[in-house]
Structure 1
């Protein structure tokens, strides 16, 4: 039996259902084509709250759209992709950050998380073969490098990095920007040692734009 991380799963919470329908309606109602699409969990969702200032500054002018849903695991994003959230879209780039909730909520082994990410990438490539994917390294968790949660994330990143071919799927790892030289994660960066604060959204935005602009001029 395949791991739960690859079995598309619809969540039943009211807010999640409402957000899914709202996003579908927004996509239908847009006049300008979406050029930059963000896919993920709460860290991506928070571009609309903690990172809103920098979203408006950097991404709104580029016709970006946010499909981050708090609490999502790989199987939830897979369901959303298969149930309308990519319909009529043809973005130039998709920024994908997913997997931390597989590691945290269910303590999935890195191999299962990686298979879930791979399933998402295959679905994206099948549905949008001309769009590029910027696959983000899953952001660090837990204070120290010896914590099991941190190690699970590191091991997962080692696996999913291999999915990048430098053509349709690209790899971007900005995790060192969040850590001290000794690899410590501080509350001044992630107050709960999981979700980044506003200043880190600015760093993320700069890194994404630098990479995309660099590639577009090659």
Structure 2
């Protein structure tokens, strides 16, 4: 007499479903982990894209002019080439560009965790066209004047007789790539105009050591350009 085939028991079916569910959860977890890692890697890029707009939207309504923040780029780790860059340009109320500064740094975001340490080389370049008006204020002061209006006068710092302390592990090399500009003093009669044709050099700073500066500057005031040599 033939016997009926034995069908899988209910407990075995439940075990298979549990395995499939476990595999599905594992795949989802792996995908979330990949997305999280990708987000962490991309976070500096996202911040670099979003931060300029946040800074401009926060400051520009409070300025007698405006600023533009461009070319912001940061990374987590230090690299041989500059990994952090930022460029800021200042405009007066009429839309005339007054100053522009660009900073480049080799330090990555992780270098700032746990305190400021070795920042490597920081490169600065830019220009400024400053006008001192008849009332003694400059065009730069007028742009940022609304930020200080209505603010209480800060108290005088307590004098302890000790020089300000730097972070214990601070080390940095500030390299001035190229700074140019003009200064027009309209408060003088006749007005005085000074042109900074070039400012280059390097400043080495390290906690516990004297700062060393080596600067080269060419200034023109209607006479032949003159140079300033090294300074320590």
More helix by share: 1
TM-score range normalised by the length of the shorter chain? under 0.3
The structure number with the bigger radius of gyration is 2
Give TM-score scaled by structure 1 length: 0.27
Give TM-score scaled by structure 2 length: 0.25
Higher RCO (CA < 8 A, seq sep 6+):
1
